[in-house]
Amino acid sequence: MNLARSLVAPLLLLPPLMSFASFQPSQWSTTLETTGIGDFYRPDDALVLSVSQVVAPESRPLIRLELDNIDVTEVVVWESAKLRYRPIRPLSTGEHELRLMYYGDDGSAEELGHWIFEVRQNALFKRISVESNSELTINQRLAEHNMSGPNDYNADGFSQWFAELHADQIHLEATGELAYANRPEQGITGERLDMPQFSLLAETERMRIAAGDQSMGRESLIMDGYQQRGLHGELALETFESTFQLFGMSGNRELTIDGGLGLSDPDNRIVGGRWESRWQLGDDSEIELSFSYLTGGISEPDAGSWSSTPTTRVNDGHAWNAVIDGFFLERRLRMCWEHATSRYDFDGRDFGFDAVTDTAWSALMALDPEPTDWETPLDWQIGAEAQKVGTFYRSLAHSNLPSDLEMRRIYASANRDKWYWDTSYTLEEDNLDNFAAYATTETRRWNMQLGYDNYETPDSGSILDILGKPSISLSMDRVDRQDIRTPTGYLPNDTRVEGIQASAAFQQDDWYWSVELGTQRFNDYSNWQPDTDTHNLGWQLGLNMLENYGLTLGWQASQTRYRDGGERIDQQIFSLGGNAQLIPDRLSATLNLSLNQNNAEDDPFFPQRDESLYVSSQLDWRIRKPRNDRAGLDLSLSYSGNTLRDRLYGQDPFNENQVWLVLRTTLPTAYPGGMQ
């Protein structure tokens, strides 16, 4: 019996010994253990893999764990039949990919396990995050000479924050910015403490409601697409894949927090709506149709009044547009057309004249075909657009749109390997209603640009190995303005401006240099203005020395010559700059000098000859580096001075300079902290 036991015991140890001696990946099975709180993982949870057999220590280097295609094996802890990985930083919320691989000594590779898992904050919210950045700056002027401007002491600060809650059915966001200035007149809104910007957002799969500062709609003939204060709601409908939007916004772009949503003033409010629908025409074509309408008023003081209490005028109006936008040929051909009509009271409500109705339209066609199948593909695009805005067209939500103008433009661009090229030609005409008191002028604009960029490491011993990685460009342009009709008693517009510019920049690891030159020719065929030629030349050199020191040198020269009389205007600018990390990440210094020389003694309109020397320097001491939930502290000492010398009339030099001490504290905050 004892003899039998002595023979059986070694046989029982044989399987595990064989597993140590001969690791067989194909016989392995691996399981990703759950956390016990649901079918998700929290950002800081450890990932534990249970394995079916024990792996000998000498075989473990052949097994690699990859998280989102990044090898994290170095921080994996091996246990008897488990692999444990705890993220160095909390994982970001969302889906992640985990893969366990075996790489044999013979170069073979085999996947031992593959998992897609979700990371979320908790069972209720997929993601909870709060981020903010607050900064307070205190400025004290220690000395000054002949300087005017801000007070010797001033302080300002801001705090920007962002919060997000993302659940399975709803997404919430909130942003805001607080601004502080110790003197109200220096504040953004004229207040000592205010919230110049804020926004709140709530959205589901089919609904979206936003309040505060936001972009109310797409850029079009009736809306500029800029940020406005107001309220916006959107509902997605299943019918024709359409959406319906309602919005209300303030006509005043600069509101304090007391202004709320900017909708309380009926004389300074714009309301409207937008309907949009999409149709899929097969797999590669889509048509989008939209209709928008807005109405309201904007109030502003009468700019033509000299009274200390000018009359406030309320400009009422409304506008609507219709847009059809189509994408064809696998979305490589775009065709878009828009029509808009406005009615606007230019002189203001109750000031005598009625509101005026006018129209505008625009059209666009753009083709972006597949790159050629050459060995080095050519990618090219062409397009054409036209726009006509009536003389009295004006939308309350797009007051900056140029009116009384018709424009037609064609353009093309291409790039191949490291080369790129683009060109365009534009034709414009104004005074569309042929008002006899104004000139009707036609403007033609043409430009072309050719460039070469190479960011690859050049071949050793080549000319580019010496010069550096190149970035070269050549551009040409011409603008012609000519009157089609000139009113009696006025000189006609008949001018041409044409120019050519060339630049070349070369980059090495520790230095760079660039040169640019150009010329511009001005002709006035009506002989009202003098014809001139302007030439410019410049270069710049930058050096990075010993990793912590940098030096820049630059020179620019410009000369303008009157073609008939030969008079000249010369200007030169010499610049020198330097920076140094005296103690890396702790103490740094910068110095900049600029000498500007002007020589225009022969100028028949404004003779002058002078030079100015501008000097600035700054010493920055980082007392404490900012970290999450821990304020940083920086102290700066700066000097700036300017000396002006007149070389024509012999006036005494004029000097001005000042010294400032600046204390700045910065506090970044993030919850749940850094993620990977």
| pLDDT one-digit tens code per residue, 309-338 | 667 889 999 999 999 999 999 889 999 999
What's residue 673's pLDDT? Answer: 58
Nearest to 300 by CA among 238, 233, 345, 341: 345
Using alpha carbons, list the distances in angstroms from residue 321 to 198, 245, 339, 360, 388: 29, 14, 5, 9, 14
What's the pLDDT band for 675 if we cut at 50, 70, 90?
A: very low
Contact assessment for residue 136 and residue 157, using Cβ atoms and an 8 Å cutoff: yes
For the whole model, what pTM was predicted? Answer: 0.81
Mean of pLDDT values over 458-478? 89
Residue in this structure with the two tokens 């070269």, named with its chain if needed: 472
- Closest to 273 (Cα-Cα) out of 287, 290, 297: 290
Per the listing, tokens 């366990």 go with: 100
Q: Check residue 345 and give its pLDDT.
A: 93
- pLDDT surpasses 50 at 448: yes
User: pLDDT band at 549, cuts 50/70/90?
Assistant: very high
- Provide the token pair at 85: 């990985």
DSSP string, 475-526: EEEEEEEEEEE--TTSPPPEEEEEEEEEEEEEE-SSEEEEEEEEEEEEEETT
Do strands 269-280 and 63-67 pair parallel, antiparallel, or not at all (unpaired)?
unpaired
Strand 405-416 relative to strand 419-430, pairing:
antiparallel
User: What is the predicted pLDDT for the residue at 22?
Assistant: 52
- Which DSSP category does 266 fall into? G
The first and second tokens of residue 623, run together, are 């007392």
Terminal CA-CA length for the chain: 62
How many Å apart are CA 127 and CA 119, to the nearest integer? Answer: 9
Q: Which helix (H) or strand (E) holds 16?
A: helix 14-21
At residue 468, the 3 state secondary structure works out as: coil
pLDDT of res. 107: 79
Using the Cα atoms of residue 544, residue 549, residue 555 and residue 556 in order, give the sign of their dihedral.
positive
Q: Give residue 360's pLDDT.
A: 97
Structure tokens at 15: 């399987």
Residue 276 pLDDT > 90: yes
Query: What integer pLDDT is reported at residue 530 of this predicted model?
Result: 92
Tell which residue, 557, 564, 620, has the closest CA to residue 588: 620
> In the predicted model, what is the mean pLDDT of residues 254-259?
81
Among 95, 149, 85, smallest CA distance to 119 is for 95
Buried b (16+ CB within 10 A) or exposed e, 213-245: bbebbeebbbbbeeebbbbbebeeeeeeebbeb
What confidence tens digit (pLDDT) does each residue in 112-136 have?
889 999 999 888 888 898 999 999 9
Confidence of residue 149 (pLDDT cuts 50, 70, 90): confident
Contacts of 12 (CB under 8 A, 6+ apart): none
In which region does residue 339 sit, left (phi positive, over 0), alpha (psi from -120 to 50) or beta (all else)?
beta
Task: Map residue 33 onto helix, strand or coil.
Answer: coil
- Closest by CA to 153, choosing from 138, 140, 136, 163, is 140
Beta partners for 102? 63, 110
Given a cut of 60, is residue 18 above it in pLDDT? no
pLDDT tops 70 at residue 255? yes
**Dist. CA 378–CA 663, nearest whole Å:** 54
156-214: pLDDT as tens digits: 999 999 999 999 899 999 999 999 999 888 888 888 999 999 999 999 999 999 999 99
Q: How far apart are CA 176 and CA 160, in angstroms?
A: 6
pLDDT, the chain, mean: 89
Exposure string (b/e) for 39-66, b if CB count within 10 Å is 16 or more? ebbbbebebbbebeeebeeebeebbbbe
Residues 27-64: pLDDT tens digits?
Answer: 778 889 888 788 899 988 999 988 877 777 777 888 89
Closest CA to 96 of 121, 69, 73: 69
**Percentage of the chain exceeding pLDDT 70:** 94
Q: What is the residue-wise DSSP string for 74-101? A: GGEEE-SSEEEE--SSPPPSEEEEEEEE
Q: Strands, E, within 368-486: which ranges?
A: 378-389, 405-416, 419-430, 440-453, 469-485
Are residues 434 and 440 in contact, defined by beta-carbon separation less than 8 angstroms?
Answer: yes
Chain centroid, CA 114 distance in Å: 38
Give, as one character, the DSSP assignment of residue 223.
B
Q: Read off the tokens for 281.
A: 């025409």
Rounded Cα–Cα distance for residues 320 and 273 (Å): 10
In the predicted structure, residue 82 carries a pLDDT above the cut 70? yes
pLDDT, average across residues 638-649: 92
pLDDT of residue 7: 42
The answer to whether 341 touches 357, Cβ cutoff 8 Å, is yes
Question: What's the confidence (pLDDT) of residue 512?
Answer: 94
Banded pLDDT at 422 (limits 50, 70, 90): very high
Per-residue confidence (pLDDT) for residue 20, from 0 to 100: 42
pLDDT score of 12 more than 60: no
Question: 3-state class of 229 per DSSP?
Answer: strand
Dihedral in degrees, nearest 10, Cα atoms 327, 445, 516, 379: 20
Tracing tokens 């008002």 back to the chain, one arrives at 435
- Return the SS3 of 267: helix
Q: In this predicted structure, what is the pLDDT of residue 10? A: 45
CA distances (Å), origin 54, targets 24, 26, 221, 587 = 11, 14, 71, 54
